[in-house]
Structure 1
């Protein structure tokens, strides 16, 4: 945005300092002048024995024989006052220029860092020294913003590269199958259609997951009251056929856990966690535990599953997009590698925290902590007591 040139902030501060000093000096001289006028007569008073009008004797031990009037005092006071004003003006300009430069030095560093960030250099930090004040708080906040922005940009770059790779695979397979069908008209069309349908389904699932992840990152959703315990029950009921197919037992328990957020996104988050716990489990006789609990100011959803022992280094990478965990047991329902990445984005969009820890006996424990919803207003007169519902155990 083009703007007309104007005075610099340093010059404005300098003029402000100088003007303030001049005003203070003028007020001080005015007070002195008004105070002296109370004791000075309008006209000069000549005492007996005085021979030189307008002359004031200042001999030690002798009283003054001439009392000056206001005009005489003004003639003696005015030149000194002008000299004082001139000194205050020079002092205010020079001192104000130096003081403004020292005060604005941190702002200059912040501006320099901002310009470097605008040119694409996000690794630069201000790192302002000294004790905490307004400028240092601004610099620290700007450094924090740059760090988060740099991490976000790097994450988006990795995500774009991984997404391009994942989307390119089904497209390449589709192109290869079509070329084979064109070169071999006698090939079994039913088998070709089956493979193309599976590849196309995977591409659609991946695209929908990417759109859901983008929606969670942008926080473009309506917030409402949501009970995580009901979402956990709904997710387990939906995935119960998949669990029975894999021989997995799902146990759900917990208290009413009210929070504020998107019902659809939180249900997707819970479904992803339960689905992930089912497909990455023991080959047979595995177990998934889904529990909800209420803490002071927060609600917690915990999903645990049995399985092989996981290294902490592997667990720390599972929330990254397309990181499926090569050491975990896989199946044809393993998904597109965005399940926990979507969970992380939805949790972050709801101002929550996501914690993944390996279980000592094998498997994974995922803990989602969200802010609790404010308590509802007290019921009106005549309303009966309300007892929170509990989820049944399975």
Structure 2
């Protein structure tokens, strides 16, 4: 039995029951008022039952039949009207299951339970469509990035094979560099996958210590680029994976150093405590970035205005990994272009005590 038929029978049954009770009450009233008589001594006596049946029962049967037909027809129409939004939601679900994620219900009418369900489903479809599109772009970009070092390696090997007099040391050095880049890219992809799965042990982490460690580690790179790093801030305790949060900090500082002015650039690394949260902020000098470009920098293999392939340019997954690690720690990532050029990136995470309580619940 369909839901519509169940509702129809329920409506009709309820109407029949209500009608039966109404007729029973009416019959009892008539029996008391019109079918009770007195004898010669003034005592009450009941008229024969056949008189009541002949006079009232046929009319009651006609009324009950009418109520049955009216209840079935009216219940069927009312149930169809009430369930119409579910038909639209079912159609949208089947369309999405067939692979079309661009379809939306857009249910009109007042804000009720069906409208709330439809709006929630539309939101889910929009998020799913964006996620699938992001994954498709990621797969295409990853394939391209992995194909590049393989193609270069094949070319170098072909050159070495066809030209015996070619300097083998140079070929080996170039192959080593290309292979190192391929390994870095593969490890970045694995890190991205592990962070997205949230398969890590949580512990108390001080973001200020991570900022100092990342700064000390990347100081030689900063000196090579002629960049000054300034680190300051408060003790900022959160709960999460120490290795992943260190990788997040390293990626932010590395990105700020590499994507900076040619010489005399500056990087500011700070930590702060906010209401119910702690924050890590990395700013750098550099060229002015339009907001529409900044919004795409966390996508995989985005490198600002140019695709840089220098010694320390990374593999194009730095900010994508930062975004994934932040999301895995239930934090927020904010990218803001600086008016004078450069970028300000803020990672905000729950404070340690709040994060512990959230994990317990």
In the superposition, the TM-score normalised over structure 1's length comes to: 0.81
| Aligned-pair CA distance for 1:372 | 3.0
1:14 corresponds in structure 2 to 8
Counterpart of 2:69 (choices 90, 97, 107) is 90
Does the CA contact (< 8 Å) of 1:40 and 1:68 recur in 2?
A: no
Indicate the SS of the match to 2:335: strand
Deviations 1:60-101 (A, max 9, x none): xxxxx9962556435533323322221221111111100000
- Coordinate RMSD, CA, aligned: 2.9
Check conservation: 1:280, 1:329, Cα contact below 8 A. Answer: no
Answer yes or no: is the 8 Å Cα contact 1:127–1:139 preserved in 2: yes
Task: Find the residue that maps to 2:353 and give its secondary structure.
Answer: coil
- Scaled by the length of structure 2, the TM-score of the pair is 0.88
1:52: which partner in 2?
A: none
Tell me which protein shows more helix as a share of its residues.
Answer: 2
Note the C-alpha offset of 1:280.
Answer: 1.7
Secondary structure class of the residue paired with 1:290: strand
1:246 aligns with 2:240: no
Alignment partner of 1:260 is 2:254 = no
| 1:142 and 2:121 correspond | yes
- Tell me the equivalent position of 1:370: 349
1:108–1:195 Cα change, 3 Å = same
Shift of 1:369: 2.0
Alignment match, 1:133? 112
**Distance between the aligned counterparts of 1:162 and 1:98, measured in 2?**
54
Match in the other structure for 2:194: 215
**Cα deviation digits, residues 5-61 of structure 1 (max 9, x gap):** xx21111111111112222223333444566677799xx75645xxxxxxxxxxxxx
User: What is the CA–CA distance in structure 1 between the aligned matches of 2:349 and 2:53, rounded to whole Å?
Assistant: 77
Which secondary structure does the structure 2 equivalent of 1:239 belong to? helix
1:24 aligns with 2:18: yes
Evaluate the alpha carbon distance shift between residue 329 and residue 186 of structure 1 in structure 2; reply closer, same or farther with a 3 A threshold: closer
**For 1:245 and 1:299, how far apart are their aligned partners in 2?**
31
Instruction: Give a deviation string over 1:105-133, Cα, whole Å, max 9, x none.
Output: 11101111111111111111111111111
Tell me whether 80-89 or 270-279 shows the greater mean CA deviation.
80-89
Greater shift in the superposed pair: 325-334 or 356-365: 325-334
Tell me which of 117, 132, 139 is aligned to 2:96. Answer: 117
Distance 1:187 1:132, change over 3 A: same
The higher radius of gyration belongs to: 1
Tell me, in whole angstroms, the C-alpha distance in 2 between the residues paired with 1:237 and 1:69: 109
Q: What is the aligned length?
A: 355
Distance 1:141-1:375 versus aligned 2 partners, 3 A rule: closer
* Paired residues for 1:1-394 under 5 Å: 7-33=1-27, 45=37, 47=39, 68=47, 72-326=51-305, 331-375=310-354
Q: Rate the CA distance shift 1:85–1:374 in 2: closer, same or farther, 3 A.
A: farther
Residue 223 of structure 1 deviates from its aligned partner by 3.9
In structure 1, the gaps of 5 or more residues are 1-6, 49-64, 378-394
Shift of 1:241: 2.8
In structure 2, distance between residues paired with 1:371 and 1:92: 58
The 1:309/1:117 distance shift into structure 2, 3 A limit, reads same
Q: Return the alpha-carbon distance in structure 1 between the equivalents of residues 84 and 179 of structure 2.
A: 59
In the alignment, which residue of structure 1 is the partner of 2:359?
none
Is the Cα contact below 8 Å between 2:198 and 2:328 reproduced in 1?
yes
Q: Offset of 1:350 from its aligned partner?
A: 2.7
Mean alpha-carbon deviation: is it higher for 253-262 or for 287-296?
253-262
